[in-house]
């Protein structure tokens, strides 16, 4: 009942009344609740002939939280994009959240044992041991958005390394030769590949890798605004441009630079990643970014899963290229050098 309530953004009590055919719920809402129950494959309300037409989408609950706006903004589109792509193919998508306790105890969602399904799409940002638990199931599996390299199976992800390479190359073509990086280096394979794309672009251009211009976490966490501020305060001089591991970091950096009298992009250019929107845009700053093509990723994941006839142990990877979105946070380099 809670799953259905969350899906429809209504109270659990309303779901209970509808499923028990009691008064207190309008007919339109009752129909929506019963239809959703059937679509999600629950108990006596499920359409038995369609039970084997379900696709499970396993999602860590932590990225579905409204309180964590950074994760929610990005993953909301991916979760419901998958649901739409699967529904377009005449199937039912069953979204099964994985909470932290389940992940720690290596406990599968009950849908994995209580209903028939064609296969699983797993958001690969779960812990490696949990991903292996799902990987060991005798069912077609596609890892989505991120993955674990030692678990060979089909994968659909954004081409993060190529996207980061393009972003940094854009800065180089604008005349920048001192380009910094801020972002996690190993939080997920996605972030790791963005860091590697930065390194590749800098090295191929023959630019020196100046580690004092880099704030790359190897501890698996995102950066806070306080950490970015501390980094800027401790710098002897600033690069003329930064590539950031995501848009959240890019906007936090821009705010901290402005607080120190630096203009974006006149003094420092910035490129982010993901194409998310933040309140800083209201101040006139629109971030140049690499747009993750979420709809294409969802379509590719649905097609890949349905193409599998059985459990696959091949590391088949499909990377969807992100798109450079040029906005106002990048300009050609000047000859100035700024000191803190």
Q: For the whole model, what pTM was predicted?
A: 0.81
Digit-coded pLDDT (tens) for 69-118: 566 778 989 999 999 999 999 899 999 999 999 999 999 999 998 889 99
pLDDT of residue 86: 95
pLDDT of residue 187: 78
Digit-coded pLDDT (tens) for 112-166: 988 899 999 999 899 999 999 999 999 999 999 999 999 999 999 999 999 999 9
pLDDT of residue 149: 92
Asked if the model's pLDDT at residue 48 lies above 50, the reply is no
Mean pLDDT, residues 172-201: 94
Supply the DSSP string of 169-226, one letter for each residue: HHHHHTT---EEEEEESSSSHHHHHHHHHHHHHHHHTT----GGGEEEESSS-PPPHH
Digit-coded pLDDT (tens) for 290-317: 999 999 999 999 999 999 988 999 889 9
Residue among 121, 136, 163, 138 nearest 300 (CA): 121
pLDDT of residue 182: 95
């Amino acid at each position: 009942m809670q799953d259905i309530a969350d899906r429809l953004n209504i109270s659990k009590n309303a779901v209970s009344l509808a499923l028990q055919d009691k008064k207190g719920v309008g007919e339109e809402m009752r129909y929506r609740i019963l239809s959703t129950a059937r679509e999600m494959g629950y108990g006596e309300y499920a359409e038995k002939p369609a039970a084997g037409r379900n696709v499970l989408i396993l999602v860590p609950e932590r990225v579905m939280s409204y309180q964590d706006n950074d994760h929610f903004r990005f993953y909301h589109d991916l979760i419901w994009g998958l649901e739409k792509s699967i529904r377009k193919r005449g199937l039912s998508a069953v979204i099964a959240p994985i909470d932290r306790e389940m992940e720690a105890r290596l406990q599968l969602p009950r849908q994995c044992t209580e209903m028939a399904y064609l296969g699983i799409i797993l958001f690969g940002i779960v812990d490696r041991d949990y991903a292996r638990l799902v990987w060991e199931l005798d069912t077609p599996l596609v890892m989505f958005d991120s993955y674990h390299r030692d678990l060979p199976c089909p994968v659909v992800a954004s081409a993060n390394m190529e996207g980061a390479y393009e972003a940094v190359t854009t800065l180089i073509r604008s005349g920048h030769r001192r380009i910094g990086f801020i972002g996690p280096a190993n939080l997920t394979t996605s972030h790791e590949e963005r860091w590697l794309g930065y390194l590749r672009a800098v090295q191929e251009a023959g630019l020196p890798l100046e580690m004092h211009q880099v704030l790359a976490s190897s501890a698996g966490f995102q950066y806070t605004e306080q950490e970015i501020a501390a980094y800027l305060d401790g710098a002897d001089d600033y690069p003329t441009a930064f590539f950031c591991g995501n848009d959240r970091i890019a906007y936090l950096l821009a705010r901290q630079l402005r607080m120190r009298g630096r203009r974006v992009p006149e003094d420092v250019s910035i490129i982010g990643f993901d194409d998310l929107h933040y309140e800083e845009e209201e101040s006139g700053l629109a971030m140049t970014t690499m747009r993750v093509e979420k709809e294409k990723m969802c379509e590719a994941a649905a097609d890949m899963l349905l193409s599998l006839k059985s459990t696959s142990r091949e590391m088949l990877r499909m990377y969807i290229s992100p798109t450079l979105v040029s906005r106002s946070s990048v300009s050609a380099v000047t000859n100035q050098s700024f000191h803190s």
